Amino acid sequence: MVKLVVATKNKGKIAEIKKVLQEMPFEVLSMGDIGIAADIVEDGKTFEENSLKKAVEICNICRSVVIADDSGIEVDYLDGAPGIYSARFGGADATDQDRNAKLLHMLENVPYEKRTARFVCAIAVAFPDGRSFVVKDTCEGFVDFKCKGENGFGYDSLFYVAEYRKTMAELSMDIKNKISHRAKALEKMAVVIKDYL
């Protein structure tokens, strides 16, 4: 079993990552599991830069294989915002509810067909010997007119997946873990990591 430390304090992300990787020979640990409380400043200009910075810095502390993701929502009507600022959208102390409310306010009176958006996830893997790689994937959808569903976090309750006629937060974990940006990026990561182990 390869120990994989996930460089996040977000319990929702850790649960998703554990579920997607459960069939693979990885022991998935959180930063809390190994006693690391570091806060990494995300000052990159892309999802890839932010995820790689987190993975490398946590790897340097724990000397284990580390995976880090940076993810967010890009709304076409807002020229790709909030993008890499998705987690900080609405201010440092904003809750998921606050961020969703701000997004809804910015899209007030915007018709459905102009509310196209995508979830983006970049996943970086850093190894104690200095090697690293990054993969990225997306999930296309729309920003709904109100929050719906309880199965998720972040913008899941606003992100409408037309194929299922539901928001991401209304989908079962099994479906979400097949179609989500994070699930697809994790699958890519699991294929590439075999060449590094």
Q: What is the pLDDT of residue 22?
A: 84
As a whole-number percent, the residues of the chain with pLDDT over 70 amount to 100
Give the Cβ contact number of residue 147 at 10 Å. 19
90 appears as a binding residue in the annotation: no
Q: How far apart are CA 14 and CA 109, in angstroms?
A: 36
User: Is a pLDDT exceeding 90 seen at residue 11?
Assistant: no
* pLDDT single digits (tens) 25-43: 889 999 999 999 888 888 9
**Predicted pLDDT of residue 60:** 96
Residue 155 annotated as lining a ligand binding site? yes
User: Shortest CA distance to 34 belongs to which of 65, 71, 56, 69?
Assistant: 65
Is 76 a residue of the active site?
no
**8 Cβ contact list (under 8 Å, min separation 6):** 14, 30, 31, 54, 68, 69
Rounded Cα distance between 59 and 75, Å, is: 32
pTM of the shown model: 0.91
Does 181 carry a binding-site annotation?
A: yes
Q: What is the pLDDT of residues 133-154, one digit of tens each?
A: 999 999 999 999 999 999 888 9
Whichever domain contains 113, its CATH number is: 3.90.950.10
State the pLDDT at residue 77.
98
Model pLDDT, residue 90? 87
Q: What are the tens digits of pLDDT across the range 86-135?
A: 988 988 899 999 999 999 999 999 999 999 999 999 999 999 999 999 99
Q: What is the pLDDT of residue 21?
A: 84
Q: Is 44 annotated as a binding residue?
A: no
Active-site hit among 33, 39, 43, 70: 70
- 53-62 pLDDT, tens per residue? 999 999 999 9
Instruction: Give the model's pLDDT for residue 39.
Output: 87
Instruction: Give the pLDDT of residue 189.
Output: 92
Q: Please state the domain count of the chain.
A: 1
Q: Do the beta carbons of residue 154 and residue 85 sit within 8 Å?
A: no
97-109 per-position pLDDT tens digit: 999 999 999 999 9
**Residue range(s) defining the domain that contains residue 16:** 2-195
The verdict on whether residue 45 carries a ligand-binding annotation is no
